[in-house]
Structure 1
Amino acid sequence: MELTTFHGRESELDRLRHEVIRARLVTVTGTGGVGKSRVAARAAEQLKERFSDGVWLVEASASHDPQLLEHSVVAALRLTDHSGRAPLTTLLEHLAHRRLLLVLDGFEHLVEESARLVRELLRRLPGLRVLATGRRPLGIAGEQLFPLAPLAAPDAARLFTDRAAAVRPGFTLGPDNHEQVADLCHRLDGIPLALELAAGRLRTLSLPQMLERLDDRFALLTGGTRDAPPHHQTLRTAVGWSHELCSPRERLLWARLSVFAGAFDLEAAEYVCSGPDLPAEQVLDVLAQLVAQSLVTREDAPSGVRYRMLDTLRAYGAYWLAATGQTRRLRERHRDWYTGLVSWCELEWFSPRQEEVALRITDEFANLRAALEFAVDEDDDPRHGLYLAGTLWFCWVGCGRIQEGRHWLERALERERYDPVSPGGDGTGDSAVRLRALGLAGYLAVLRGDTVTALAALHECLEEAERTGDERAIAYSLLRMGALALISDDVRRAEELLSGALERYAELGELNSHVLLGRVELALALAFGGDLQRAIALCEEVRRECAEHGELWARAYALFGLGFAAWTQGEPARAGALLREGLAISAGFRDLVATVLMLEMLALVAVSEDRAREAAVLQGAAGRLWPSVGMPLFGSRYFNAPHSECERRARAALGEGSYLEAVREGAALTPEVAVERALRPGDGGPAPAGGLLPLPVEPAATPHPHPFPGEGDAGYGRGIAS
């Protein structure tokens, strides 16, 4: 009989009951404390009507002598036999014509004996079904595995609240503690045992105090109930029970895998975790054993098969890794692997594998952060941090992480100022690493609309590049200064700088995403200056180059330029088609800059097609995205002109109140919904095919009724509207 409330697991219970009805042997697997016993007991209770001879529980965890396992089953079934026969014989005789469900709970420490017994019983007793629970499978024919995951967030919060109210009467989940409870449940991986132990700590600690102490969760989470199994009295003993059941090589790999943050792939584990005591070719077999014991989970990600360890298990592994004195060596190997991965990704970015690179970077981002953290803050050589942060330009710019990119670049450059790298006089030495990071930091400031910071960084980069003779850094600095002039509305200066930079790249024989984007920026400068035909020719040239090299990211910007030109020429339908094609690409890459620019232009297309309300909705959606990019429309009158023209027309068509209502509706849309809506043609037809990754945006603030203050250039707005 259950003494505490059961929370959640409705879908798991439905599926488990179905499996027990379908298969003769079902094994519920999962990490320690995840709730295997409780779920199996609940499912068995709900199935008892199907078994005329009952449902019987065998607590295998209480038996430590392998030779007593069969006796434990006999005792659990309340069988008596004074003949002196072997217990297996007694079981076979008494159960020969019975129809029952045997629940074998917690067999993992007696897996071989349990497997042998269950195999024999099922072979000889046709009316028997077995529901087993353990941290690993029994591994016999006909076994149906049922992996049990930790509780989902809502159920975890309900469980914690219920158990907390038992020790602190009156405790409820409300606005004042909702975020703290959610944080606690997340950090404890939704493991029911950990949540129950945490709730018990509320006798003496507040929620904030407990959250502060969770870094040492094993010291904090103790004091389980007296009737709990010994290995469930504390979180340390629960996890330690699994550790004791591992072989020495499994414990070694467990400890070494703790250096990974989030999920990892097999190749990474083989490189980072191998050594003389664990050759790379043996890592797969040992990893498979950790997966079998529910210490590591396998998952299918867009970039392929990956593996993950719960934070609680990772923390336990990190404790043992530190005890061996190998933490720093493993973190260096982790840094080296991800540095190599980043280098490969950058090379493949300008290729038909660009989408694959974007997916891989998304899947690996937690590990990239961990590598950056070590390289920037703890590494003996500051070049590692500079190289990683600078080489990841395609992640910061192309995959929508501009603010985070600035964060890492600023930290890496600040570290280098106190521990400078040695200069390389030919531009190919260590100074090139610093200049690349410095130039990129300047460009990210450009995209954020931070002109002062951008100008300082780019001028410093140019001066040092000229002093060291680094031609690539000179070209890059000039290119990004041209982008800065463009958003600063100095289109003549932008044309001069961008043209000069592109000539330098041509002399170097370089063609890459930077060069193609620079050509689009030059095209925009020409268009803003009135030379629309040259602008169109440049964008068409970029589109052809992109098709030849399999480059999609820069293609989206070329499509934006062509869409802008088509609208300016009075072809809104053609402009809409070009912009929707570009938006599908940019949103797929999570590129916030291109995405929000496309939304702004598609709003203008909508109002030109007499869809004023839809235009206002798209303006509101764009307003939600801009804070995650930087200054709305870069603070530029040229970039702001389409927005101002769209707003003028939509207000006139809708009236003030209806316009503001539509803007608020757009601001309330999630970015993904807004993009999907914008991708639908004006006739309501289907959007272009392809899934969208979640866009990494800041939480939406309360929408301002006029999200883009400033009138822009009204004269220019009238010009392009004609």
Structure 2
Amino acid sequence: MLWGEPVGTAQLAAAEEGYLACGPAERLLWERLSVFEGAFDRRAVEEVCGYGTLAAAGVGTVLDRLAPRALLPVDDRFDGEEGGPRHWMPHAMRAVGARRLTARGDRATVLRHHRRWCVGVARRAAAWWQHGRQLDARDLALRELPDLAAAMDPTTAPLAPAEETGPALEVAVALWFLWVACGRGVEGRTRLRHALALHEGPPPARALWLAAFLELESGRPEDADPLLGRAWAAAVRDGDVRCLGMLAHLRGAIALHQGRPRAAVAEFREALEQLGEVPDFGPTREACWASIALCLARADPDAAREALERLERDGAELRTGAAGRDLSADAWAHHARAELLVRDGERARAAEHARRALREHLRLGSAVGASCAAELLARLRLLDGRPDRAAHLLGAVDLLRTSVFDASYRPGRFCVLARERSEEALRGLLDDPELREAYEEGARRGLFALSWER
């Protein structure tokens, strides 16, 4: 049976027959495994199902006996911390297990274990992101997203929805990087709004921070402002200094989006004073320095270079012994270096940094970052006398933006300026049919292919 295939009567009958052929321990594990929405490994099974008569010491053995009867192997190798081979329970088997679990009266208990496991997965992914394992963090979150999505929906939990919003909001906030830096902002905004709508009492400051950040990522900074005010009041009330630092960073990002770089720099510097060495959530210190360099690249090159040096120094100090760097900050730092090299007349080196920024943003999944980098690269193509290449890039950007964002999305002023100059120059170099054809060609080829052109 394929994932998502409708369950028929014959499949249900076969699953029921298989269930009845199992021993008591295998039946109990079968029932408890029905709470998983996606694939799972041995460690997940131990944490969610390994209690009571299925104590963790023995649940692995029971899993080995049950797997050939009720589970399918899943080949999704992962380079992070492994929990052994992964399995998936087909829908017919899940339906039989869920019905029996409910009849036994244990569904609420197993779901609570499942929610606790989901919170742990989200926290682990967040920690990996903050400590330089960003691709591992993204891949872990995506791998477990079917179950994490269930944990972010309070209406699927055993208690009243209002009583389940705490874990839902914690998971959503821990996965902030998936929504903001990895291009899944629309999904994150939807899930967070749903959980906040069911929350009773004052919302947590960090959830409001994320809600405001997602409005900015959606191109609506004006909708972020009221959420910022509420988040600041909540963070002051709770004494959450780290969140106050993240709110300063977000105010800086909004100022940069609106074309106020000096104000943005002041906010980013305030954020650096409050974040601590390795924040437990949100953008890193390297991200703040990259943002400062981006703000100053066009107005104060020396200060921008100093910010990039601080990024490298802070990164080297904080990441000693870690698995990697802050790839998102590195991508924006490449963008800032490209801007500086354009000013110095070193267009070939500038183009190389712009390409690296584009490829890194694409690797992470950031449509905002990829679009800005591609528009900078298009400007460089124009300066090199290659208007067709520039138009290809802009056409691919248009396709990316329309596929990710709705009609209300408006890019930040920082990127708009480069786009406006490029379009004005293109209209003077290509006639309308040529320009339209070049845009369409770029959209057909896509940014990934174009990012490798020299």
Aligned to 1:395: 178
Aligned to 2:305: 536
> Which of 76, 97, 121 is equivalent to 1:300?
76
Are residues 375 and 560 of structure 1, via their aligned partners in 2, closer, same or farther at CA, if it must alter by over 3 Å? farther
Shift of 1:633: 8.1
Aligned to 1:313: 93
Structure 2 CA distance for aligned equivalents of residues 610 and 290 of structure 1 = 65
Report whether the alignment pairs 1:405 with 2:216: no
Shift of 1:308: 1.2
Structure whose alpha-carbon radius of gyration is higher: 1
Q: Can you list the C-alpha shifts for 1:409-433, whole angstroms capped at 9, x where unaligned?
A: 22222222xx226xxxxxxxxx7xx
Report whether the alignment pairs 1:275 with 2:51: yes
Structure 1 CA distance for aligned equivalents of residues 381 and 210 of structure 2 = 35
What letter is aligned with 2:111?
R
Are residues 500 and 445 of structure 1, via their aligned partners in 2, closer, same or farther at CA, if it must alter by over 3 Å? same
Q: Can you list the C-alpha shifts for 1:230-251, whole angstroms capped at 9, x where unaligned?
A: xxxx333222222233222222
Aligned to 2:381: 606
What letter is aligned with 2:24?
P
Confirm or deny: 8 A CA contact 1:557 1:594 kept in the other structure. yes
Taking only the aligned residue pairs, the percentage that are identical comes to 30
Structure 2 CA distance for aligned equivalents of residues 509 and 531 of structure 1 = 26
Aligned to 1:656: 432
Confirm or deny: 8 A CA contact 1:563 1:578 kept in the other structure. yes
User: Where does the alignment leave 5 or more consecutive residues of structure 1 unmatched?
Assistant: 1-33, 35-149, 151-185, 190-216, 223-233, 422-430, 683-722
Are residues 275 and 470 of structure 1, via their aligned partners in 2, closer, same or farther at CA, if it must alter by over 3 Å? closer
Report whether the alignment pairs 1:480 with 2:250: yes
Report whether the alignment pairs 1:415 with 2:187: no
Confirm or deny: 8 A CA contact 2:25 2:62 kept in the other structure. yes
**1:204-243 aligned within 5 A:** 217=7, 221-222=8-9, 234-243=10-19
Are residues 540 and 579 of structure 1, via their aligned partners in 2, closer, same or farther at CA, if it must alter by over 3 Å? farther
Aligned to 1:442: 212
Are residues 681 and 664 of structure 1, via their aligned partners in 2, closer, same or farther at CA, if it must alter by over 3 Å? closer
Shift of 1:253: 1.4
> Structure 1 stretch 256-265 or stretch 559-568: which is displaced more?
559-568
What letter is aligned with 1:607?
L
Confirm or deny: 8 A CA contact 1:487 1:634 kept in the other structure. no
Instruction: Report which structure shows greater RCO (CA 8 Å, sep ≥6).
Output: 2
Confirm or deny: 8 A CA contact 1:298 1:306 kept in the other structure. yes
> Which of 213, 217, 231 is equivalent to 1:461?
231
Are residues 376 and 464 of structure 1, via their aligned partners in 2, closer, same or farther at CA, if it must alter by over 3 Å? farther
Aligned to 1:554: 329
RMSD: 2.5
Are residues 547 and 667 of structure 1, via their aligned partners in 2, closer, same or farther at CA, if it must alter by over 3 Å? farther
Aligned to 1:492: 262
Are residues 347 and 261 of structure 1, via their aligned partners in 2, closer, same or farther at CA, if it must alter by over 3 Å? same
> Which of 342, 345, 355 is equivalent to 1:580?
355
User: Where does the alignment leave 5 or more consecutive residues of structure 2 unmatched?
Assistant: none
> Which of 21, 27, 45 is equivalent to 1:245?
21
Confirm or deny: 8 A CA contact 2:130 2:278 kept in the other structure. no
What letter is aligned with 1:599?
A
TM-score by length of 1: 0.57
SS in 1 for 2:219: coil
What letter is aligned with 2:304?
A
> Structure 1 stretch 531-540 or stretch 612-621: which is displaced more?
531-540
Q: Can you list the C-alpha shifts for 1:372-393, whole angstroms capped at 9, x where unaligned?
A: 1248863624322222222211
Structure 2 CA distance for aligned equivalents of residues 306 and 346 of structure 1 = 22
Structure 1 CA distance for aligned equivalents of residues 128 and 12 of structure 2 = 44
Q: Can you list the C-alpha shifts for 1:627-660, whole angstroms capped at 9, x where unaligned?
A: 4156798443332111122223333333221111
Confirm or deny: 8 A CA contact 1:539 1:559 kept in the other structure. no
Confirm or deny: 8 A CA contact 2:290 2:330 kept in the other structure. no
Shift of 1:252: 1.6
Confirm or deny: 8 A CA contact 1:447 1:630 kept in the other structure. no
> Structure 1 stretch 615-624 or stretch 484-493: which is displaced more?
484-493
What letter is aligned with 1:441?
A
Report whether the alignment pairs 1:383 with 2:166: yes
Structure 2 CA distance for aligned equivalents of residues 376 and 448 of structure 1 = 27
Structure 2 CA distance for aligned equivalents of residues 445 and 649 of structure 1 = 32
Structure 1 CA distance for aligned equivalents of residues 171 and 245 of structure 2 = 21
TM-score by length of 2: 0.88
> Which of 63, 67, 89 is equivalent to 1:291?
67
SS in 2 for 1:297: strand
Structure 1 CA distance for aligned equivalents of residues 136 and 304 of structure 2 = 31
SS in 2 for 1:293: helix
SS in 1 for 2:433: helix
Structure 2 CA distance for aligned equivalents of residues 254 and 634 of structure 1 = 49
Confirm or deny: 8 A CA contact 2:30 2:97 kept in the other structure. yes
Structure 2 CA distance for aligned equivalents of residues 663 and 461 of structure 1 = 42
Structure 2 CA distance for aligned equivalents of residues 536 and 391 of structure 1 = 32
What letter is aligned with 1:608?
L
Aligned to 2:113: 333
Shift of 1:334: 0.8
What letter is aligned with 1:386?
L
Confirm or deny: 8 A CA contact 1:593 1:629 kept in the other structure. no
Q: Can you list the C-alpha shifts for 1:469-527, whole angstroms capped at 9, x where unaligned?
A: 4322222222211211111122332233223332333xx55568433222222222223
Structure 1 CA distance for aligned equivalents of residues 156 and 353 of structure 2 = 42
Are residues 637 and 373 of structure 1, via their aligned partners in 2, closer, same or farther at CA, if it must alter by over 3 Å? closer
Counting matched residue pairs gives 438
Shift of 1:340: 1.1
**1:27-38 aligned within 5 A:** none
Structure 1 CA distance for aligned equivalents of residues 26 and 207 of structure 2 = 40
